[in-house]
A and B are shown apart, each in its own frame.
Chain A
Amino acid sequence: MPDTCSILKRQLDLFDTNEPLIIKQDNELLEFIRSSDIKSARLVGNTDHLISLELPTHNQSDIVVYLVNESFRFDAIVDTANHLIKNHLTSQGWLYLAVNKFLAEPDCYDQTLPVDYELAVLKYFEKNIDATLQHYITNHPDNGTYFNWVHPLTRFYFQKND
């Protein structure tokens, strides 16, 4: 699978403009970081295109940005997220999680979840990640033109509990 940098370059090259471009998901994350007094960040997963973040990484950072744009299991994402929250976030720090929902390994993770996939993803992470969900963003329905394969559209802002 191509890396997200090359996918982004290819997709932005299609635009008929000379202006510098930033995709909406990246911009929303940067705006959140700027407005939340975040001074340090840890990047985890498929974050290679996020060069503009340019914040120092401490052992415990104010935000962990965790992008998943490769084949994954939901239970493994939960395990990693909870490890990051416990070990690498400051008190009241933020976990930003974005997953490409099309790349999840299908399974019966929990039969009590809603039939609607968007809602099921929300409920699964809300139930299993050890932090408070403050914001959930999706872009349903996705027709494949919203840069999901660069910066996934299914996004969560969790805040670490004291």
Chain B
Amino acid sequence: MTKIVNSYAAQLKTDPDSLTDQHVHTVYDISSQVIDTLNITENSCVMFSGSWRFNWNCRYIESNYFKKSRLNYHKNTVFVDHNNTVMLDYLLKKIQPDGIYLLHSAMFVAYRNIDLVLKDVKNLSQYTARVYCTVPTNRIGFNRLTTKIQDLPGKLVDNFLILTNDDC
């Protein structure tokens, strides 16, 4: 009997290898052109962006769902339930980061409309003066029939969009 599946968000394997595969796919490849635009300090907070792929000596927040994966997370990584807004609020107030960075994070953008993403960027600006969200332009929602790419909010670098709290 063939089973019909609607989404791969349910019934996923949770062994370390599968969690590794799943976590790798929650981030998009990021180019040096995007990284070069960022000014990461020791007290910056890089959230849900795959801490294993960065060398900055800063703070990282990742989802605790993936904690048992085989990825080599940066030593400054804190794991939280990414749906627990109370815990995130507590953590960010405690850290008081110089900046919050969401770098090519499928978990944060999740194909939502750009207006909704900007709303969340604005919400995060209560914890810091600078919020940066970078995303490939083909992974975020907007009306592609009536909008030219250069008319989008934020800064365009190659095929990547850099949104900040100044764009909200």
Contact = CB atoms under 8 A, between A and B. Distances in A.
Interface of A: 10-17, 19-24, 27, 71, 74, 101-111, 113, 115-117, 120-121, 124, 141-147
B148 A108 contact: yes
A124 B146 CA distance: 11
Contact of A102 (B7, B11, B141): B141
A15 B138 CA distance: 26
Interface of B: 1-9, 11-14, 18, 21-22, 106, 110-113, 137-149, 152
A74 B3 contact: no
Contact of B145 (A22, A74, A142, A147): A74
5 contacts: A12-B8, A102-B140, A103-B138, A115-B143, A117-B113
A113 B144 CA distance: 11
A106 B5 contact: no
Contacts of A144: 106, 110-111, 139
A110 B7 contact: no
Given A14-B21, A15-B13, A120 B7 contact: no
Given A24-B6, A106-B147, A109-B145, 14 more contacts: A12-B5, A13-B21, A15-B13, A16-B13, A21-B5, A24-B4, A101-B144, A107-B145, A108-B146, A108-B148, A115-B146, A141-B111, A146-B7, A147-B8
Contact of A15 (B8, B143, B149): B8
Contacts of B145: 74, 104, 107, 109-110, 113, 117, 120-121, 124
